[in-house]
Amino acid sequence: MIKLEIGHEVELEYGGRAAITGIIGKGIHDIVYIASYNGTQWALKWYDIDKLDDPEKMLKNLKDNVSDGAPNNKFMWPKYITKKYSDGSFGFLMEMKPESFEYLVDILKGYKIVNEPETGRANKKNVRFSSLFAMTASALNIVNAFRKLHKAEKTYQYLDDNGFFINADTGAILVGGCDHIVRNGDAKALKGGMPGYMAPELVKGVACPDINTDRYTLAASLFKLLFRGDPLEGRKVVNDICLTEEEILRHYGEDALFVYDPNDDSNRPVRGIHDSVMKFWETYPDYIKEVFTKAFTDGLNDPSKRVDESEWQSVLTRLRAEVIQCPMCGRTNFARFFDKADHKTYKCTNCREEIPTLEMSHHKWRTPVFKGAKIYECDIYSDSNDFLTVVGEVVENKLRPGVFGIKNCS
């Protein structure tokens, strides 16, 4: 692999040159640089071709992706492919990650390291969702990205901690690592991958990436986002003190076991190591725990039993709707942490304010309504997948404070 230096220029396939102006980071198979092309800054992903299973296949796949185009504008899709170097190295340009989006890995850690521009000193900066609304929105947006990808008949070869960029204030997402996306059922052109995101059959090397392997990846991504840990890393894994590559593959492949498998407790989270997972397992309502249990027990080794995007969307829209912000004291939490005055009314445990609920014809649960609560298209139409379009918002009557109504936003 030829390493690029600052000032170095790479030729693009369709003409022009991109000049290297900086470095963003290193991946398993590549280095990502900042490059200037046509007066704009781009990210240049430059492969270490020795780490690719089949560089020619990778290049062909890139060309297919460039000509097919992105499933939608949330995918940071390969735009311009470079010419090959004399040793066969190549790369491509894609858009730069906007400043307002965080790496998924930083959200999972809860912080990022920022270098002060003037002194170069490294500072630790917290990276946290501004609200439970933003967190649940990001989970829904990830589900939707998989839906769009599958609609375009594409799947991931594998995904890793840098696969998503997330706006922690709004929950908006952008999809990174789009060069890892292949046409459904195509063999992998990349060696290895990140076991924590890969379906066991991919870890074992007995399958090609397809929509079902992606459904495992989707469940793993959502578990990491909601529970801040790995669904398969518990006592069994920790007991192997020095994990060799072979053992890691065993834990994520042949011997994979969900940490909360109801029929086998040998891989439970370990206090002091997996505290986040233990804490959040106590936090989420049962329907969330049930869907993850299904995803990582029935769906672990049987690809046909994995949770699909519609089911995730259904439980996550409920979770979003059940984030209550008390209109009186501002306390914000999942509905299960509010008292029940009766089966139609929640009660704030802090200020005793009552929060009424609405019954939607196709939901089996009641939607809490409070000032600012939003009603989405999928809440009112049983055949709608649209979890983004707001059709109604609970507003307070300006002339009569304390009187609420639903504003029609459609």
Kindly report the CA angle at 223 between 218 and 226, in degrees rounded to 5?
Answer: 120
Q: Which is nearer to Zn ion, 350 or 397 (CB)?
A: 350
Using CB under 5 A, pick the residue from 40, 123, 350, 397 that binds Zn ion: 350
Tell me which stretch binds Zn ion (CB under 5 A): 214-222, 301-309, 323-331, 383-391.
Answer: 323-331
Q: Which is nearer to Zn ion, 187 or 341 (CB)?
A: 341
Query: Could you say whether residue 341 binds Zn ion (CB under 5 A)?
Result: no
Q: Which is nearer to Zn ion, 51 or 331 (CB)?
A: 331
Distance of CA 98 to the CA centre of its chain: 17
Least spacing, CB of residue 363 vs Zn ion, in Å: 24
Query: Could you say whether residue 328 binds Zn ion (CB under 5 A)?
Result: yes
Rounded Cα distance between 116 and 280, Å, is 34
Least spacing, CB of residue 328 vs Zn ion, in Å: 4
Residue 36, classified by CB atoms within 10 Å of its CB into exposed (0-12), middle (13-18) or buried (19+), is: middle
How big is the chain by its Cα radius of gyration, in Å?
A: 23
Using CB under 5 A, pick the residue from 54, 353, 354, 377 that binds Zn ion: 353
User: Quick one: DSSP state of residue 254?
Assistant: T
Q: Which is nearer to Zn ion, 305 or 331 (CB)?
A: 331
Query: Could you say whether residue 351 binds Zn ion (CB under 5 A)?
Result: yes
What number of residues does the chain have? 410
Least spacing, CB of residue 329 vs Zn ion, in Å: 3
Rounded Cα distance between 69 and 109, Å, is 32
Please count the CA atoms within 13 angstroms of the CA of 399 that sit on its side-chain side.
0
Looking at the DSSP bridge assignments, the partners of residue 183 are 154
Tell me which stretch binds Zn ion (CB under 5 A): 5-13, 100-108, 306-314, 342-350.
Answer: 342-350
Tell me which stretch binds Zn ion (CB under 5 A): 73-81, 215-223, 306-314, 321-329.
Answer: 321-329
Least spacing, CB of residue 250 vs Zn ion, in Å: 49
Q: Which is nearer to Zn ion, 350 or 389 (CB)?
A: 350
Nearby residues of 95 by Cβ (< 8 Å), 6 or more positions away: 42, 43, 76, 79
Q: Across 48-199, where does the E strand assignment appear?
A: 80-81, 91-95, 102-103, 111-115, 122-126, 154-156, 164-166, 173-175, 181-183
Q: Which is nearer to Zn ion, 349 or 389 (CB)?
A: 349
Using CB under 5 A, pick the residue from 326, 369, 375, 394 that binds Zn ion: 326
Q: Which is nearer to Zn ion, 100 or 350 (CB)?
A: 350
Rounded Cα distance between 213 and 195, Å, is 12
Using CB under 5 A, pick the residue from 187, 243, 329, 388 that binds Zn ion: 329
The residues that touch Zn ion, with contacts defined as CB under 5 A, are 326, 328-329, 331, 348, 350-351, 353
